[in-house]
Amino acid sequence: MNPSHQFLEHGVSHQNLKRTSCANVLTLAYQSLGVVYGDLSTSPLYVYKTSFSGKLSLKEDDEEILGVLSFIFWTFTVIALFKYVFIVMSAHDNGEGGTFALYSLLCRHAKLSMLPNQQPADEDLSAYSTEDSADTWQSSRLKLFFEKHPRFQKGLLIFVLLGTCMTIGDGVITPAISVFSAVSGVQVKINQLHDNYVAIVSCIILVGLFSIQHHGTHRVAFLFAPVVAAWLLCISGVGIYNIFRWNRQVYRALSPIYMYRFLKTNGMEGWLSLSGVVLSITGVETMYADMGHFSALSIKIAFTCLVYPCLILAYMGEAAFLSKHHYDIKRSFYKAIPEAVFWPVFIVATLAAVVGSQAVISATFSIISQCCALNCFPRVKIVHTSSKIYGQIYVPEINWILMCLCLAVTIGLRDTNMMGHAYGLAIMTVMFVTTCLMTLVIIIVWKKGIIKALSCLLLFGSIELLYISASACKIPEGGWIPILLSIIFMGVMFTWNYGTRKKHQFDVENKVSLSKMLSLGPCLGMVRVPGIGFIFSNLASGIPAIFGHFITNLPAFHQVLVFVCAKSVQVPHVSENERLVISRIGPKEFHMFRCIVRYGYKDMQQENYNFENKLVSAIIQFVETEDNAEEQTNELTIDDGNINMEESYKAESMQILKAKESGVTYIIGHSYAEAKKSSSILKKFGIDIVYAFLSKNCRDPDIMLDVAHTSLLEVGMAYHV
């Protein structure tokens, strides 16, 4: 296999190749154009139009045009280049980026994790490395503060979920505004075409886009990079043409003095227009979040060498055109395209909008998958669309929800200005969350001084709050959309997380003592039946209450018992050789084991790869290596999960194999939460209605494990919270 192909297929998130050749880095930089920069590169379609959508008007001296261009240039430079490329992308979690990566770093270094079943052994994972340098007094005090105040740990989780929900909102708005803006360009040539027809064509494209998601993007992904590259070259070429054709003095706007003049001259209207300027950095957060699919170096090269200069030239060229065509502001992007190349650029713009939408949709699928792993979202069906490229998934339920919401936004608004106002508020909230988390990372993880951390917070946070304040004033004009979506998704996430934590708390408080259970054996007439029983619970230690409930009603259990706990750990990926942790419960003659299955927050929690055989193989390996004094007389060979036996195993190994031949039963508990009678109305609504509805309609564990109904045994229990 070609090294570059191998590198792309395995992904840098696993850090398979830490030292890559120049050719591989350049290949990844080219590939990242289609996945990472589709959203960011289509921003020129609507930035100027949205910036001048209010009462702000263009005057003869071009101060407004140059002021907006100056804001675009410096916002793009400070936020995209300085903040993300130079600083934020250095804070990665084993090569992974994004909000969850920053939160994971903090959880490992400051013990902030809200995940249950965290054990000291998890810190021995190869991906769980932490800085060896000693804590500073600032980092020590900050860690101690979070340890003493659990409410702030919960508050930090809610803050992270806020950024996550806004990102999901971004996944709703991006396809709508990108496709609608691209298609509306046809009105430049067909003036009488009504917005309703543009909306209809946009909806047809969106329905087609979401309808092909189940096929995966790997079949057409090779087209994404050429489309975005062609788009960037087109808009930069048009930009250079407009600069030389209409206004060669437009470079003066690169001076920050024009920002001051703009706000001084236009006052409140100038400040409100910043809600449109912020759209110039849409997609920057995606650049950081998708770092794990490529590498920090490749993404930085693509941005600094191609994306950044091309977009700056495009914005400068459009400003040069507007300086001579004040009345074309509503269609300035397409009006600025020379007549000879209009239709080719229009076609490329439409394709680029689809590519940008695809990137955001895929990112939303990934975020939902991570939320499920962190117990912050109900279990949903996750389909792997590629057997070669890691991480390409499809979530049917989320796909159709996104499609309906995108269509609702497109049909309901039919205006890129209102879509832009909603878009700006969503992306700036996510960026502000990243800035705050980066401040904590600088102190706790990097162990730098508080002065450096506060400098980062004040510099970038103040800029982002400025844009958030401008976007917040547009809440009645479309900004309410991401807020409403965030409230709904946050309500679902927090309710599910709360109910899951209470369920785990109930299981911990009602664990069954092994000695007590065995002492009841003679009274219950307990017997061992042939076969292996896999008992699934969310406990990493102790015997779950469902098993005690099971044997008191049916006093018999299998010859070999394995208590299985699938849990998430605060790392992006867990290697296959570290996934299973086997231990013994009770004396050897009990033939009872515990298996902890560990996943990273970006791992796919689906055991459809012959989990049963792999687990039995691991148990036999554990038994074979447990007693070093006993001579090993056989050899265990594992080939794709199949167990082949040469000669004979030890007695216990033979019993396990015979038990497997007798059959394997999966015992899964179904717990039903009920709010206490003394609970508040809000809690009763959250538990008895919302959480109960989500539990009833989420994906059952037996379906995720692909268990045959003939091998499934369900045990139901109710608990009060």
Alpha-carbon distance 486 to 124, whole Å? 36
Amino acid code (one letter) for 386? S
Alpha-carbon distance 397 to 399, whole Å? 5
- The torsion region of residue 84 among left (phi > 0), alpha (psi -120 to 50) and beta comes to alpha
- With CA atoms as reference, report the closest residue to 366 among 706, 603, 608, 90: 603
Helices 63-75 and 257-272, interaxial angle, to 10°? 100
DSSP string, 183-209: HGGGGGT-TT--HHHHHHHHHHHHHHH
- With CA atoms as reference, report the closest residue to 499 among 413, 375, 339, 318: 375
Between the CA of residue 407 and those of 176, 200, 254, what are the distances in Å?
7, 10, 39
491 token code pair? 């309500």
Alpha-carbon distance 707 to 463, whole Å? 53
Main-chain phi, psi angles of 542, to 5 degrees: 80, 175
- With CA atoms as reference, report the closest residue to 514 among 623, 590, 589: 590
Between the CA of residue 141 and those of 146, 147, 414, 441, what are the distances in Å?
9, 10, 51, 14
Alpha-carbon distance 380 to 372, whole Å? 8
pLDDT recorded at residue 220: 63
- With CA atoms as reference, report the closest residue to 46 among 468, 415, 362, 308: 415
In the chain the first and final C-alpha atoms are separated, in Å, by 55
Residues 177, 42: contact at Cβ < 8 Å?
Answer: no
pLDDT recorded at residue 124: 82
- With CA atoms as reference, report the closest residue to 249 among 509, 420, 69, 123: 69
pLDDT recorded at residue 19: 45
- Which helix (H) or strand (E) covers residue 2, if one does? none
Helices 99-110 and 416-444, interaxial angle, to 10°? 20
Main-chain phi, psi angles of 404, to 5 degrees: -65, -40
- With CA atoms as reference, report the closest residue to 452 among 462, 437, 442: 442
Between the CA of residue 197 and those of 189, 458, 616, what are the distances in Å?
14, 46, 61
391 token code pair? 């991480």
Instruction: Output the 3-class SS for 385-424.
Output: CCCCCCCCEECHHHHHHHHHHHHHHHHHHCCHHHHHHHHH
Residues 101, 285: contact at Cβ < 8 Å?
Answer: no
pLDDT recorded at residue 522: 58
Between the CA of residue 650 and those of 157, 482, 562, 593, 659, what are the distances in Å?
49, 62, 19, 17, 14
pLDDT recorded at residue 532: 93
Spatial CB neighbours of 375, under 8 Å, sequence gap ≥ 6: 115, 116, 496, 497, 500, 501, 568
Amino acid code (one letter) for 581? V
610 token code pair? 């012959």
Alpha-carbon distance 553 to 715, whole Å? 10
Q: What is the torsional sign of CA 513, 516, 520, 522? A: positive
Residues 137, 448: contact at Cβ < 8 Å?
Answer: no
Alpha-carbon distance 148 to 160, whole Å? 20
Q: What is the torsional sign of CA 259, 263, 264, 269? A: positive
148 token code pair? 């003493």
Helix residue spans in 414-513 (DSSP H): 416-444, 450-472, 480-509
Tell me whether residue 266 is exposed, middle or buried, using C-beta atoms within 10 angstroms of its C-beta: 0 to 12, 13 to 18, 19 or more.
Answer: buried
DSSP string, 547-616: HHHHHHHS-EEEEEEEEEEEEE-SSS---GGGTEEEEEES-GGG-EEEEEEEE-TTS----TTTHHHHHH
CA angle (58, 63, 64) in 5-degree steps: 45
Alpha-carbon distance 467 to 469, whole Å? 5
pLDDT in tens, 87-143: 999 888 888 888 888 998 898 888 887 777 778 888 888 878 766 667 888 888 988
Alpha-carbon distance 412 to 62, whole Å? 35
Between the CA of residue 116 and those of 367, 505, 539, 571, what are the distances in Å?
20, 9, 8, 14
Which parts of the chain have pLDDT scores under 50? 1-20, 607, 629, 632-646, 648-649
